[in-house]
Amino acid sequence: MKALTHTVHTTCRLSGGWRLLICLLGLLLSALPVGQAQAIGEYSNPCIVAREMAIKAVAIYERDADQGIAAMNNAASLCSSDPGIAFNLGLAYYMAGNSERAEAVWDSLNLMSGASEAANREKALANLAWLKFELGKDKESLQLANEGLQHFPSNWSLAHSKIYSLFRLGRYLEAYDWLTRSGLTGVRASQWQNQAAEYVVETLWRKFRECLRPQKGKPCEHDGQLPAIRQAINLLIKEYPQDTHFIEAKDRLLGAYLDKEADQPYPIDLPHEIWKKTGVMDDQSPLLDETIQAVPPIAAWEKREDAYAVIVGINRYQHLRARHFAERDARHMQRILVQRGIFKNDVDHVRMRIDQEASLSTIRDDLQWLVRQGQLNPGAVLLFYFAGWGAPLPGEEGMADALLLPVESRPEGINPQAALSLASLQESLNRLKNVQAAVIIDSCFNENAACSQHGRAAAASDKNSSLSGTALQPGAEKKEAAEFFQGRASWLLASLRQPATLYSPGRQGSLTYFLLKGLLGEADGQDQVADGWVDLTEAFQYVQKQLPNSDVFLSKPLKMRLSKSKGER
């Protein structure tokens, strides 16, 4: 008994705080009958008491973070071997914004040993790997993720840390290759794989673009760059024959090499260059694809039987450079209008033409159909949306016409006979009694660089025509263009004097991107109390606020309801 007492007293003498409670419990046990001592004896184990303390500490943390962390530290000091207590302590530090302290706590755990429970080990390892990424320690994050995935191959958090670490390290092919072999399936895995493939292809395009700007006038064929690019793309196709990214890249690279005016993809930013070195980021966050896909449709009775739309998006022209993202613009606009909007999703109410479908004859037929619906239904809602190239036709006293270019347009043949004349469309719409007509054009009609080749070609294509003439005088463009786009319909244009810009983070035209954001609900209530619907005027005002330096233009306000922003969400 003396030895036990001595041991207990020694323990009490060496300990303090919460361990004093255990010492006192030990002293009391010696005076109890055997049965009662066994019943209470479990409390002599410090880890049992520490776990109960940790549970109390979590409740305290919800009321006061500092006190909760202090209590959890006491529990951790009482039982430093318990991974669950350490996991929660690290999590408390992380949630309180002290990432470095959380890292130190989780680093102290032997996460890959078999001593701790698998569930706790998996969670802590996944958290630590992501925390390392947030702190900018990409190589450490990657190492932890690799080790963890050997034991927990289906853990999405570990996979997330691995892919994003590889992205920020610029190791895109390694990321792509692992995804093809990992066995991960589903939407998220497909998105990561598509991202990785896009980044691999972009690195090849960068080398190719640099190859077209050889140093000291030496062609790139002679310094080995072009053969290396060819070999790289051929190896990718051989290794991953099912991926269309690489097959398409080979065809477009070859076409761009043979024809300097051929279509080239829009350059995209690479994570290792633009991602912040620390913190949370996701280069896909500005994209609207998932958001639009997830929005539920409005009720059928909220659709209009007399709402009609023609939607056109031309990304790849047959003989002109690409108008980047126009196809995405049109597809997203169509989806919003039929998912959350008043338009029915059928060809009797909405006609969509993408790329090769958007020929001159087809679009003209569609516009005649749209005007005809307005003639038959005087109260109808009519909408025409176009994303693609436009061309101004300046006249002697201002803008004589503005043209929309169909997919088969040629640089040397841009004229009212080979394109869609907006003067003609305007005349047709002006004859309608309908006042619920809108034209949305994500393009530009001026002499800026983004449109200039079309403008010059249009003016020079018919020298004997009364439509030809000199370009508009500086300072007169806005007035003349604004006057041209007046009439019974409301005209919403991406720009009057400036180029129609692209919003690279969202991979869409700037006008369309922010229109879509507005139609998803952010524009509701821009000019009045929010009523659950977004109309054309509200959408325009929202775009103006998002693009303060642009000259996006609306010819006249129109309370045309386009999408529902509330309900069924």
Chain segment 365-412, per-residue pLDDT in tens: 999 999 999 999 988 999 999 999 998 887 776 778 899 999 999 888
pLDDT tens for 310-335 read: 999 998 898 888 888 899 999 999 99
**What pLDDT, on the 0 to 100 scale, is given for residue 464?**
33
Q: Closest Cα partner for 250 from 259, 260, 241, 237?
A: 237
Cα 514 from Cα 503, distance rounded (Å)? 9
Cα 537 from Cα 526, distance rounded (Å)? 8
Evaluate whether 542 touches 523 at the Cβ level (below 8 Å): yes
> Between 378 and 440, where is the model more confident?
440
pLDDT tens for 536-548 read: 999 999 999 999 9
Q: How confident is the model at residue 27 (pLDDT cuts 50, 70, 90)?
A: very low
223: its two tokens: 């310094």
Cα 56 from Cα 45, distance rounded (Å)? 18
516: its two tokens: 């879509």
Q: Closest Cα partner for 310 from 383, 374, 368?
A: 383
First to last CA, the chain: 71
Q: How confident is the model at residue 25 (pLDDT cuts 50, 70, 90)?
A: very low
Is the whole model's pTM more than 0.75, yes or no?
A: no
Say which DSSP state 505 is in: G
The mean-pLDDT minimum among 189-193, 280-284, 307-311, 427-431 falls in: 280-284
Residue 133 neighbours by CB under 8 Å, 6+ apart: 141, 161, 164, 165, 168
Q: Closest Cα partner for 204 from 177, 232, 183?
A: 232
Evaluate whether 89 touches 128 at the Cβ level (below 8 Å): no
Beta strand extents in 413-532 (DSSP E only): 420-421, 437-442, 490-493, 502-503, 508-509
Rg of the chain, C-alpha, whole Å: 33
For the domain with range 2-130, which CATH number is right: 1.10.10, 2.60.40, 3.40.50, 1.25.40? 1.25.40
Evaluate whether 286 touches 224 at the Cβ level (below 8 Å): no
Q: How confident is the model at residue 227 (pLDDT cuts 50, 70, 90)?
A: confident
- Residues in a beta bridge with 351: 310
Q: In what order do the strands lie in the sheet with 490-493?
A: 350-354, 307-313, 381-387, 437-442, 490-493, 553-554
**What pLDDT, on the 0 to 100 scale, is given for residue 5?**
28
pLDDT tens for 150-163 read: 988 989 999 999 99
- For 439, the enclosing helix (H) or strand (E) is strand 437-442
CATH architecture for residues 289-564: 3-Layer(aba) Sandwich (3.40)
The distance from CA 343 to its chain's CA centroid, rounded to whole angstroms, is: 26
- Residues in a beta bridge with 310: 351, 384
Say which DSSP state 341 is in: B
State how far the alpha carbon of 169 is from the alpha carbons of 51, 166, 208, 511, in Å: 40, 5, 22, 33
Which residue type does 178 have? W
Evaluate whether 129 touches 144 at the Cβ level (below 8 Å): yes
Evaluate whether 560 touches 436 at the Cβ level (below 8 Å): yes
Evaluate whether 256 touches 265 at the Cβ level (below 8 Å): no
Tell me the backbone φ, ψ of residue 292, rounded to 5 degrees: -65, -40
